[in-house]
Amino acid sequence: MKWVYIEDIYQYAGQEVEIRGWVYNKRSSGKVRFLLIRDGTGIIQGTIFSENKDFPLFQLFDGLTQESSLIVRGLVRTDKRAPGGYELEIKELEVIQIAEDYPITPKEHSVAFLMEHRHLWLRSQKQHAVLQVRAETVRAIRDFFNDRSFRLMDTPILTPNACEGTTTLFETSYFDQKAYLSQSGQLYNEATAAAFGKVYCFGPTFRAEKSKTRRHLIEFWMVEPEVAFATLQDIIELGQDLIMFILERVLERRRADLEILERETAPLERISKPFPQVTYDQAVKLLQERGSPLAYGDDFGAPEETKLSEIFDQPVCVTHFPAKIKAFYMQPDKDRPDLALGVDFLASEGFGEIIGGGQRIHDLNLLEQRIKEFNLPAEAFKWYTDLRRYGTFPHSGFGLGLERTVAWLCKLAHIRETIPFPRLLYRIYP
RNA sequence: UCCUCGGUAGCUCAAUUGGCAGAGCGGGUGGCUGUUAACCACUAGGUUGCAGGUUCGAGUCCUGCCCGGGGAGCCA
């Protein structure tokens, strides 16, 4: 008999098939037994009927516990009463294992308990839906850049120096030297951009910040494109195209998952290019008009980001930040050297920053001066300044945080559910 | 790191002024001809986070510690 997956079950109505999976739930009523089976691709209701109380399949059914693993064979039928519209009339039931009492029940649990059982929590429908959206987002990102002839250039995770001196790094030993876990692939992207024109890297990054909020992970995934000869405005366009591409793809292919998450799609569907674009000055003015205590020169905190994204009904691009509050490599504005040619994309519905990027300094003298001003070790940045010695080129890029993007798409209260095994400030188990 | 809230049955929670530690879910047993987090009956299940203190008596009050939730700063 053919082994099939539940997501393909509609192709087999009227046929006998085999399904391999786990018990999701069960119900019984006299001469009928209902078995909800999940196989990783979906859930289907299996039915067993008999007039005979001692029917052998009933005895097997009665011994099943939640998450017991099994193989069932039976007839696929359409039935309006079945969740999903299809059900399996079970003819054979082969138990692989009767599971021990499963800790996660169909009722409520606390966050702490669920995080402690993350390895099992992944099996629940909502977690399944979130991670399906994540997988689709990753696929969309790769398709977007590959279709536009960006070259994937994997950057190292073990690095000898800080990309941005301000952030805390995870230190590890590298034989008789020290090494740090990468917090961004950007500096290396600038080197590969000079070799390949337009590049991107996509991988995990690590920040040893003691952040304990709904939008921070210690280990998170970031996609970072870098384009030789691109200006700030060029990569703002690129960022908008990327976000539109991801949005359309997820709305097209993962609508069922968004429904499981009870995520309203209308606010996502009305997003269109071009996104509103404001300078830092304009943003501060907008915030102050609405009663924010923000002073000029302050960086936006979470409340400001939330407020800004609520003012517009769209993702917002904020540009031209005071250079003081931004990274050392940011290109200053021609007319206002105190402003950096950087951009932050704030997602709609109060989700805050999902993209940060900008134009990089390409002038050797200016870059060396900045490295000094930021008290960075010049020697460690020798290779980086070399890029300005041998055919320097204006260039721009950005980083998009995968988990924040998925949290926004799914409208989740906390980023921890957007990655299978989140690394958080006080949690590295499981 | 700081602010704030919490820790009671496997899970989610309740316990009035300091006065017999309880319910729902889950488990077990039985019942029910189509269930949708099914339902009904019965049943087992406790070092009240840890250590001290006050008191005739502490889940409840006090001190210290441990663990966790929410938030801030920083950032994607």
Query: CATH number of the domain that A77 lies in?
Result: 2.40.50.140
pLDDT of res. A346:
92
Q: Could you write out the DSSP letters of every residue in A319-331? A: EEEEGGGS-TTBP
d(CA A421, CA A417): 8
User: Does A177 map to a domain?
Assistant: yes
**DSSP H helical ranges for A166-254:** 186-196, 232-253
Q: Which residue is nearest to nucleotide B11 (CA to C1')?
A: A109
Among A49-63, A210-224, A339-353, A401-415, which is the least confidently predicted range? A49-63
d(CA A393, CA A81): 64
Q: Are residues A122 and A39 part of one domain? A: no
Q: Are residues A154 and A51 part of one domain? A: no
Category of A68 on φ-ψ map: left (φ > 0), alpha (ψ -120 to 50) or beta:
beta
Q: Which residue is nearest to nucleotide B40 (CA to C1')?
A: A29
Stated in angstroms, how far is A109 CA from B22 C1'?
20
The band of A106, judged by pLDDT with boundaries at 50, 70 and 90, is confident
Q: Are residues A84 and A124 part of one domain? A: no
Q: Are residues A153 and A88 part of one domain? A: no
> Which nucleotides on chain B have any atom < 7 A from a protein Cβ?
1-2, 10-13, 24-28, 31-39, 67-76
Of A97, A131, A161, which residue is a domain's last?
A97
pLDDT digits (tens, 9 = 90+) for A111-136: 888 888 899 999 988 899 999 999 99
Q: Which residue is nearest to nucleotide B70 (CA to C1')?
A: A213
Among A55-64, A166-175, A201-210, A375-384, which is the least confidently predicted range? A166-175
In this complex, the nucleotide whose C1' atom is nearest to the CA atom of residue A114 is B11
User: Does A365 map to a domain?
Assistant: yes
Q: Are residues A122 and A222 part of one domain? A: yes
Q: Decide: A193 and A199 in contact? Cβ < 8 Å.
A: yes
pLDDT digits (tens, 9 = 90+) for A327-377: 889 999 999 999 999 999 999 988 888 999 999 999 999 999 998 888 888
In this complex, the nucleotide whose C1' atom is nearest to the CA atom of residue A398 is B76
What is the percentage of chain A residues whose pLDDT exceeds 90?
A: 57
Q: Are residues A169 and A315 part of one domain? A: yes
pLDDT of res. A161:
65
Stated in angstroms, how far is A299 CA from B13 C1'?
42
pLDDT of res. A349:
87
Average pLDDT score, chain A: 90
User: Does A102 map to a domain?
Assistant: no
User: Does A427 map to a domain?
Assistant: no
Q: What are φ and ψ of residue A117, in 5° steps?
A: -115, 35
- The whole domain housing A54 covers 2-97
User: Does A153 map to a domain?
Assistant: yes
Q: Are residues A228 and A135 part of one domain? A: yes
User: Does A423 map to a domain?
Assistant: no
Stated in angstroms, how far is A113 CA from B7 C1'?
12
Q: Are residues A146 and A54 part of one domain? A: no
What are the structure tokens assigned to A2, written together? 């053919």
The band of A429, judged by pLDDT with boundaries at 50, 70 and 90, is confident
Q: Which residue is nearest to nucleotide B24 (CA to C1')?
A: A107
Stated in angstroms, how far is A414 CA from B70 C1'?
11
Q: Are residues A347 and A255 part of one domain? A: yes
Stated in angstroms, how far is A225 CA from B52 C1'?
59
In this complex, the nucleotide whose C1' atom is nearest to the CA atom of residue A354 is B76
Q: Are residues A123 and A90 part of one domain? A: no
Stated in angstroms, how far is A113 CA from B49 C1'?
15
d(CA A166, CA A337): 21
Among A181-195, A209-223, A298-312, which is the least confidently predicted range? A298-312
Q: Are residues A129 and A56 part of one domain? A: no
Stated in angstroms, how far is A216 CA from B64 C1'?
32
Q: Looking at the 3D structure of chain A, how many domains does it have?
A: 2
In this complex, the nucleotide whose C1' atom is nearest to the CA atom of residue A164 is B75
Q: Which residue is nearest to nucleotide B71 (CA to C1')?
A: A213
pLDDT digits (tens, 9 = 90+) for A39-94: 999 999 999 988 777 788 888 888 888 899 999 999 999 988 888 889 999 999 99
Q: Decide: A74 and A58 in contact? Cβ < 8 Å.
A: no
* Beta-strand pair A16-29/A2-3: parallel
In this complex, the nucleotide whose C1' atom is nearest to the CA atom of residue A186 is B76
In this complex, the nucleotide whose C1' atom is nearest to the CA atom of residue A83 is B36
User: Does A110 map to a domain?
Assistant: no
In this complex, the nucleotide whose C1' atom is nearest to the CA atom of residue A355 is B76
User: Does A104 map to a domain?
Assistant: no
Q: Are residues A217 and A69 part of one domain? A: no
Neighbours of A39 (CB within 10 A): 19
Q: Does A322 have pLDDT greater than 70?
A: yes
Q: Give the CATH number for residue A326.
A: 3.30.930.10
Stated in angstroms, how far is A154 CA from B26 C1'?
47
Q: Does A7 have pLDDT greater than 50?
A: yes
In this complex, the nucleotide whose C1' atom is nearest to the CA atom of residue A28 is B35
